[in-house]
Chains A and B, each alone.
Chain A
Amino acid sequence: MKKVLYIELENCIGCRSCLAACTQCGGHEQRNRNYVIDVNPFVDRQTMPMMCLHCENPPCARSCPVQAIQVHETGAVLSAMTEKCLGCQNCTIACPYGIPKFDVEQNLMYKCDLCIDRTKDGIPPMCASVCPTNTLQWVTEEELAVKKSQFRLNNGMMASMEDPYLENKTNVHVSLPGILEGKEKLF
């Protein structure tokens, strides 16, 4: 059964469990590959996880001159293949979300690969498995359809509300905070 990562932004309490869990994932070599950012620093305390959204047409992979970033059959956009990556950082520039990180010492890009060793076998990614507030959820397509019928999921509004052309279809589904959707959410 295919499962997808679903992000309920409003639930985030900024505990950064997802970052800690990311470092523990096999193959991540103690480095976390996602972010928790302040939505309105100095104004309120709302935080949100900034995950790789695993675009269906990923700009990072498209911009890679050596095809080091590959798309898994599950839709996950994988971290750069170490034997191919030449450290040009095109992907870092191309990503509209600023997800790929760059290791200067290894001259190597690394990014969220959706814990592919786990998710390809139906195990939730580390971040989703530890999230205490269900901000990050690993849901089936049926559950996602239920959520879609309840809320308007709009990836196009997530990173740049004025310019929807920046965005892609993604394999990670984001539910915007209720205040943006004009309704109160009760989870």
Chain B
Amino acid sequence: MDKNNKIPFDEDNYTHNINKNNERKLDRRGFMKTMVGAAGLFAVSTLPWGSIAATELMGLREKKYPKKEIIDVKKLKVGDAFEFAYPTDHDSALLVRLGENEFKAYQNACTHLRCPVFWEQSKSELVCPCHHGFFDVKTGSPTAGPPRRPLPEITIQVEAGKIVATGVKRYET
């Protein structure tokens, strides 16, 4: 009777546990389920980024800017620049008349260390005097010097002989 009624080897609950009370709480399957669950949780938690990206890309969160009169077209000669403040009184900006009907306006705080950028008419360049940063007047993007980001462009339009600022373009890398 002894022969077949013996437990063949010392059991531990890693290799051969048939005792229900000895069942490990976190076994291999439990661990895998936990990992998959955690991965799922992380996956779900990234979903809000999608809606944020959607609202940004579809322009639902575009800022509203007040219109602001800058200057009479007649007062600004071709090739000249005019300094103003937009959208608030503390954001200094620069309007450049490039041609008869060609105007460009940028917020003129240099994107390097926020020195005021001025218009160098002889070289047709926007210049930051602090560290010799240069910006292309057509696009606002830096051409030389320390700044790496373009100047924020201000949209303008001409209404009844006056130049009016209507908004600031989104910053895009």
Chief secondary structure at chain B's binding surface? loop
Contact call A69/B18, Cβ cutoff below 8 A? yes
**Chain A residue at minimal CB-CB distance from B15:** A67
- 1-51 of chain B: CB within 8 A of chain A: 1, 3-8, 16-21, 23, 29
Residue in A67, A83, A166 whose CB lies within 8 Å of B17: A67
Q: In the complex, which residues of chain B have a beta carbon less than 8 angstroms from the beta carbon of A61?
A: 18
Q: In the complex, what's the smallest C-beta–C-beta distance from A80 to chain B, in angstroms?
A: 11
A88-113 vs B: 1/0 string, CB under 8 Å?
00000000000000000000000000
Contact call B5/A168, Cβ cutoff below 8 A? yes
Contact call B18/A64, Cβ cutoff below 8 A? yes
Contact call B1/A165, Cβ cutoff below 8 A? yes
Chief secondary structure at chain A's binding surface? loop
Contact call B20/A73, Cβ cutoff below 8 A? yes
Q: In the complex, which residues of chain B have a beta carbon less than 8 angstroms from the beta carbon of A62?
A: 8, 18
Bound Cα distance from A72 to B3, whole angstroms: 24
A143-165 vs B: 1/0 string, CB under 8 Å?
00000000000001000000011
Contact call A168/B4, Cβ cutoff below 8 A? yes
Contact call B5/A70, Cβ cutoff below 8 A? no
- Tally A residues with Cβ within 8 Å of B: 20
Bound Cα distance from A27 to B23, whole angstroms: 21
Q: In the complex, which residues of chain A have a beta carbon less than 8 angstroms from the beta carbon of B19?
A: 70-71
Question: Given A69-B18, A83-B29, are A166 and B4 neighbors across the interface (CB < 8 Å)?
Answer: yes
Contact call A67/B5, Cβ cutoff below 8 A? no
Question: Given A165-B3, A166-B4, A168-B4, are A58 and B18 neighbors across the interface (CB < 8 Å)?
Answer: yes
Q: In the complex, which residues of chain A have a beta carbon less than 8 angstroms from the beta carbon of B5?
A: 57, 168-169
Bound Cα distance from A83 to B28, whole angstroms: 12
Bound Cα distance from A168 to B18, whole angstroms: 17
- Does A78 sit at the interface, judged by CB under 8 A? yes
Contact call B8/A71, Cβ cutoff below 8 A? no
Q: In the complex, what's the smallest C-beta–C-beta distance from A113 to chain B, in angstroms?
A: 11
Q: In the complex, what's the smallest C-beta–C-beta distance from B25 to chain A, in angstroms?
A: 14
Q: In the complex, which residues of chain B have a beta carbon less than 8 angstroms from the beta carbon of A70?
A: 18-20, 23
| Most B-side CB within 10 Å, residue of A58, A70, A168 | A70
Bound Cα distance from A156 to B5, whole angstroms: 12
Contact call B23/A164, Cβ cutoff below 8 A? no
Question: Given A62-B8, A165-B4, A168-B5, are A67 and B20 neighbors across the interface (CB < 8 Å)?
Answer: no
Using a CB–CB cutoff of 8 Å, the interface residues on chain A facing chain B are 57-58, 61-62, 64, 67, 69-73, 78, 83, 156, 164-169
Q: Other than A70-B19, A169-B5, give 12 A-B pairs with Cβ distance below 8 A.
A: A57-B5, A57-B6, A57-B7, A61-B18, A64-B18, A67-B16, A71-B18, A73-B20, A156-B1, A164-B1, A165-B1, A165-B4
